[in-house]
Structure 1
């Protein structure tokens, strides 16, 4: 067997089959390119679902991690460390907020937000104990914990994990009327993705997000924005909500916050909202660890320059212009997205999203499918225009356009 076949066979034998990876075994990566165990190079048009916004092995992030590795990597929150205060202060400033509650993964940030909203509802809004409700949108993807899949509408993510956690109301994404009708005196939060990534990079109708903001203010309800995939430069702005001129009560961040080096997530909000916590009420051994803070501080510094947001906006315009030319030619039905993020609905007769991804793999381009015949394109923001065009040429070849 080849080195690729041997590695895949071993993984199949010794790891749970909760993923169905494409048949490539990556050994190294740099920028927007990956190299497999047999020396073949592939263009990465997925970027770790936006965790690698700044590319593989970004020198600034690797240098920050190396420097911290030589000093201290973990203290637990039992003690202060010398990177924590700067991380919290600078991330809060980037978000125009006041406080940060650091965690590790995106799902942990969402779980923390659920607890935050409920505790705020009981202590500040005055909702009767045990009665708090959180409104979410259909086709959401906020993670895969037991609580989170309890309000998923994806059968694949939800099936066989009951009994499910109560306290959530699901309404159609983009429907303000349904949201208004679902609100009661016990509603403590509306939890939304400004752009739904797993659902196929769905952008809500114009005016929807400002409407959510206005409605939540009127009803004294928290607007919790899950910007774990859409945030930190991906859409051409620091946050996807900026396209609509909206500021939420709570940001949920992750993925790119760790620069593709370490898992880092955070709930970022006001002192009034995050101030509901007292010592012992919530925590994480690894949340806000020195290594994570060092890397995330460098991410914040890179975002402050605006160069990555500008690059995502400019290359994103080019990406959507080129993809738009494929619509109506018999191969592509619809293209959605913002910045360097696109959901491409392939004509089903040409194959499933998985089949298209496998054909692109053969052309040395890495993407990932989602539901049906949809593929997602989300390259590292450091990708060159020439490499992006090369990848788009391979897509045209696969679609025979």
Structure 2
């Protein structure tokens, strides 16, 4: 009993030592041994700026205790403001991912944080079983801002996509008269709409789909940017097609911008075949591309718009689906919902997030800075024509695609690691593409810093990296898409 009643001080010391990994023992009920994974001997003793846990400690604990469903660049965010972030040791970086465009308004935007704090002191959650005094204001502002009759609130972008899929099917059966359980959704090769079962059933990414079958049925694929291919599918299946779901610019695929006139052609085809045009603007919306919506570049009005990411201002997950009454009212009470969707805390944050975008003219800022940024990146391309294949994008959603022959056996992930060492945080996609999408509050000077860092990596770091990897075989072999058998993300300069 005496041992059981050990003093709180002793207990606290034991718990602290346990957390540090110094007394962890192999789990007797599992074959996994975790004691050595976080032993203090394996952890750097470099102290953080405030004496708390170091970056290396935190990264090791995440690797040990968290699922390995991401492959992050090894940097720990401890503090952030606008486009700048700091790690626990006090090192400063420029953020050129902006949480996949969720932080368009900048990290820690004071007006959004103030809205969060003020609302959190009042009420945070009511559920939609009752009314609250913030959600109606959010709904009114969102619909008036984007010009739609109604909205349906959710939390994450993936939930927004699932909502749009359900809404399209319900509309197809009730309004278009599609026979029961035969509704089709057309989507694009190379798309990314999340990682739920419904979303990956549209995916061409083998990593996202393998091992998760069977896929949800009722999906047809066409090539992105190919209006003729969409026309052919609608001619063949049009009577059963409920919707065409697409990204105006494909983000995860590598910032793929469609040909001019593509959105206009899509709008005409969807209208002629009585098919809902659904724009996934989760990443491209809320001023990212230099317009409030990327569809605005061709003055196109989709039937349904999906928003997320920056709708929460980088503070809370907020998403929404926009449509007119004829479509939206196909969903009735009890048929779809979310405990947290439309909660007063998220509503207050989203109101502030939208107000910041409009009042600070972030669309105009993104357009102007994006043009300057691409011009600077194209200067780097001219300096390294055998390395940089293409610079592309709109607004502050941009990408630099590299030639494999120019990289040798160096990966774009390794290039991003060297960018990190020079204070720039970016992430690769599809092996040869570096996506660059900073907060829209970034300054021209900070954009110039990033361009210089990229140029310096190419000039000073890459030659040594290529020399160090000579003779290695680390480059991935392109794989055919499980769905269609083609090499959607094939390497340039290959015979595939």
TM-score after normalising by structure 2: 0.80
2:313 paired with 1:259: yes
Which among 366, 369, 381 is matched to residue 428 of structure 2?
369
Contact 2:105/2:356 (CA < 8 Å) preserved in 1? no
Contact 2:105/2:357 (CA < 8 Å) preserved in 1? no
2:387 paired with 1:331: yes
- Could you tell me which residue of structure 2 aligns to residue 294 of structure 1? 348
| Equivalent-residue separation in structure 1 for 2:376 and 2:424 (angstroms) | 17
| Equivalent-residue separation in structure 2 for 1:28 and 1:133 (angstroms) | 46
2:297 paired with 1:243: yes
| Equivalent-residue separation in structure 1 for 2:59 and 2:360 (angstroms) | 40
Which among 368, 384, 388 is matched to residue 314 of structure 1?
368
Contact 1:191/1:225 (CA < 8 Å) preserved in 2? yes
The CA deviation at 1:352 is 2.0
2:254 paired with 1:200: yes
| Equivalent-residue separation in structure 1 for 2:398 and 2:424 (angstroms) | 15
The CA deviation at 1:302 is 2.1
* Residue-by-residue CA offset, 1:261-285 (whole Å, 9 max, x unaligned): 0000000010111011111000000
2:205 paired with 1:146: no
Question: What are the within-5 Å matches in structure 2 for residues 84-233 of structure 1?
Answer: 84-183=135-234, 184-233=238-287
* Residue-by-residue CA offset, 1:143-199 (whole Å, 9 max, x unaligned): 000111111001011111001100010111111111111122000100000000000
Contact 2:279/2:302 (CA < 8 Å) preserved in 1? yes
Contact 1:353/1:371 (CA < 8 Å) preserved in 2? no
The CA deviation at 1:201 is 0.3
The CA deviation at 1:304 is 2.8
| Equivalent-residue separation in structure 2 for 1:387 and 1:325 (angstroms) | 17
2:339 paired with 1:285: yes
| Equivalent-residue separation in structure 2 for 1:388 and 1:59 (angstroms) | 22
2:73 paired with 1:73: no
The CA deviation at 1:242 is 0.6
Contact 2:381/2:389 (CA < 8 Å) preserved in 1? yes
Equivalent position SS for 1:185: helix
Equivalent position SS for 1:162: coil
| Equivalent-residue separation in structure 2 for 1:373 and 1:156 (angstroms) | 17
Aligned residues: 401
Contact 1:106/1:143 (CA < 8 Å) preserved in 2? yes
| Equivalent-residue separation in structure 2 for 1:81 and 1:62 (angstroms) | 20
- Could you tell me which residue of structure 1 aligns to residue 133 of structure 2? 82
Contact 1:94/1:304 (CA < 8 Å) preserved in 2? no
Equivalent position SS for 2:381: coil
Question: What are the within-5 Å matches in structure 2 for residues 9-48 of structure 1?
Answer: 9-48=60-99
| Equivalent-residue separation in structure 2 for 1:208 and 1:310 (angstroms) | 23
Report the CA distance shift for 1:229/1:352 in structure 2 as closer, same or farther (over 3 A). Answer: same
The CA deviation at 1:6 is 1.2
- Kindly name which structure, 1 or 2, has the bigger radius of gyration based on alpha carbons: 2
- Could you tell me which residue of structure 1 aligns to residue 402 of structure 2? 346
| Equivalent-residue separation in structure 1 for 2:241 and 2:127 (angstroms) | 34
| Equivalent-residue separation in structure 2 for 1:341 and 1:147 (angstroms) | 26
Higher RCO structure (Cα 8 Å, ≥6 apart) = 1
Out of 295-304 and 191-200, give the one that drifted further. 295-304
2:446 paired with 1:392: no
The CA deviation at 1:306 is 6.0
| Equivalent-residue separation in structure 2 for 1:376 and 1:234 (angstroms) | 13
2:412 paired with 1:356: no
| Equivalent-residue separation in structure 2 for 1:127 and 1:117 (angstroms) | 11
TM-score after normalising by structure 1: 0.98
| Equivalent-residue separation in structure 1 for 2:414 and 2:401 (angstroms) | 13
| Equivalent-residue separation in structure 1 for 2:331 and 2:367 (angstroms) | 38
Which among 100, 121, 126 is matched to residue 49 of structure 1?
100
Contact 1:253/1:266 (CA < 8 Å) preserved in 2? yes
* Residue-by-residue CA offset, 1:123-156 (whole Å, 9 max, x unaligned): 1111111010010000000000011111100101
The CA deviation at 1:95 is 0.9
Equivalent position SS for 1:320: helix
Structure 2: any 5+ residue segments left out of the alignment?
A: 1-42, 45-53, 461-496
Structure 1: any 5+ residue segments left out of the alignment?
A: none
Equivalent position SS for 2:380: coil
